[in-house]
Structure 1
Amino acid sequence: MQQASIAYSISNAVAGAEGACDFIRQFTHVLGAPSSPDDGHAEEEIEAAEKRIGRRLPAVLRTVYSAIGRRKDLVACQDPLIPPSMLRLDDDGSVLIFRAENQGCGDFGFDWDHGDGDPMAMFRPDVADPDLYKWTAWHPRLSLACIEMLLSESWHGSPPQLKVHQSTSPDNIARIIDAYAKIPELDSPLSPQTTWFASDDLYVQVAITDPMEHEDPWSGPAPALAHIRARLRTEEAALELARMLT
């Protein structure tokens, strides 16, 4: 099977829940990563979790669990996806917690009552202050949160020769903006100084580290300093990115 462009695959995925489910099922192929029939959880495990919770999981989360839910290199390297057997509701019973912050500093969940089949994804910091211990928006759709999760976790789990992590200059950020397709759907109020780009054989996250440079860093001049995290599909793509950043 011919590999589709990563940028094309992500653009289809962010369009809606159906495209996101297709992307998740094909994620290892899109990355050029190995796959196995044992990558996902059995239907019986997912159904047991749903019976315990009392509600059926949204299709996109079911797809994550069934397709790649056991792949720690894709879903559990930094802020891990919670296994079906450990899914839980918050104290109010309205938000299902499905992902954990890696140092126990917060929870990722979704609000059952906001979104028709693709509910709002949310984050709650684990702090003592009751004014701060509350759910805030992460993504307007759970499908977007799942896509971001896969891109982030799979970067952490990638072979060293297929990922880049470095600080970079204004000129290089300008080159990335010019060369790659921006994915605005993955922008999040949790990280307003971060955005994602993609091309045929890579995706890259750019995080500005000087947010005071200008009010909207993506529409003004290039920032003074930023960090990039890129996941490459091939070593040739890694060399191409290295030449761009030289």
Structure 2
Amino acid sequence: MNFDVTHPWRFVRDLAAEWMGPLTPLDGYPDADLAGIRMPDALRRAYRLLGRRDDLTSNQDQLVPPSKLAPEADGRLVFRRENQACTAWAVADVEHPDPPVEFLVGAEWRPFLTSTSLACAEMVLSETLLGWDDHFDNRWVDRAAIGAVDRVFTRVPFPEYPMWAVPNGPPVRWYSGDDCLLRCDAEEWLWVIARSPAALDAVYAAVPGEWELRTRR
């Protein structure tokens, strides 16, 4: 999977087309729904492009709908929330065209990704991964499993970023292979989606061990 940090919207379009279905003009919010809301240009573009595609924005965590977008007391604009309210993602500078995004750890805001467009690309990656409803699995990983992933699969050249549940741990890393996409969270947990049973079996063969769902299939 090719990723160019200078073209995150192209990446979003390509990822959607490959995994969840191509974007269409009806997938975004119309300008009338966004009128009067102060937000960065990049965030407005995301809402216009795919804001109504729940399969790309809200399978696990939730993109805040425009009707509920309002600045916090400190001026931050929270645009995404974890599904059990354990964290949130926000921009502090709504006047910047593509500002950094922060995430909430307890009562503290910490750096997440260096631009809103990258954070929106990460949202689509993660919601695709967690919304795929066939040929998927996950497992705890040890050093041997991490080594196998590094040897066999290709790192998606997406910037590393903190895992909100383990904010002081190793970063999140993405990988791809033949008809599969993997995410390693803080060197603790591995997720995989695949386009076919054969592709998932190839992941099992490459990373042997106790997968959560394999014994139930």
> TM-score, with normalisation over the residues of structure 1?
0.71
- Which residue pairs with 2:40 in the alignment? 57
Residue 202 of structure 1, aligned match among 180, 205, 208: 180
Which amino acid in 2 is paired with 1:57?
P
Name the counterpart of 1:86.
68
| 1:119 to 1:200, Cα distance in 2 relative to 1, 3 A | farther
Q: Verify the 8 A CA contact 1:32 1:233 in the aligned structure 2.
A: no
Residues 1:164 and 2:137 aligned together: yes
Kept in 1: contact 2:137–2:192 (CA 8 A) = yes
Amino acid at match of 1:62: R
Distance 1:102 1:85 in 2: 18
Q: CA separation of 1:32/1:238 partners in 2, compared to 1, >3 Å: closer, same or farther?
A: farther
Match of 1:221 in 2: none
Identical amino acids, percent of aligned pairs: 27
The whole-number CA distance in structure 2 between the counterparts of 1:28 and 1:189 is 23
Letter of the 1:229 counterpart: W
The corresponding residue for 1:240 is 202
Residues 82 and 99 of structure 1 are in contact (CA less than 8 Å); yes or no, is this contact kept in structure 2? yes
Q: CA deviation at 1:169?
A: 4.6
Which residue of the other structure, out of 92, 99, 102, is the alignment partner of 1:122?
102
1:38 aligned counterpart, secondary structure: helix
Pair 1:33-2:21 in alignment: yes
Please report the RMSD computed on the Cα atoms of aligned residues, expressed in angstroms.
Answer: 2.6
Cα deviation code 1:155-183 (max 9, x no counterpart):
2211132x221224533321210222334
1:1-246 map, 5 Å = 7-8=1-2, 11-12=3-4, 15-16=5-6, 19-31=7-19, 33=21, 37-46=25-34, 48=35, 51=36, 53=37, 55-59=38-42, 61-93=43-75, 95-112=76-93, 117-125=97-105, 133-161=107-135, 163-182=136-155, 183=157, 185-188=159-162, 190=164, 191=167, 192-193=169-170, 194-199=172-177, 201-208=179-186, 226-246=188-208
- Matched to 2:100, the amino acid is M
Using the alignment, how far apart are the partners of 2:56 and 2:20 within structure 1? Answer: 13
Report if the CA contact (8 A) 1:107-1:123 is conserved: yes
Distance 2:94 2:56 in 1: 28
Secondary structure of the 1:99 match is: strand
Q: Deviations over 1:32-89 (max 9, x none)?
A: 536555322223222x2xx1x3x35322x23322232112222112221111221111
Deviation at 1:25, TM superposition (A): 2.9
Q: Which amino acid aligns with 2:12?
A: I
- Give the paired residue count: 203
How many Å separate the matches in 2 of 1:208 and 1:112? Answer: 28
- SS at the partner of 2:26? coil
| Local SS of the residue matching 2:108 | coil
**TM-score when scaled to structure 2?**
0.79
Q: 1:195 and 1:90, CA in 2 relative to 1: closer, same or farther beyond 3 A?
A: same
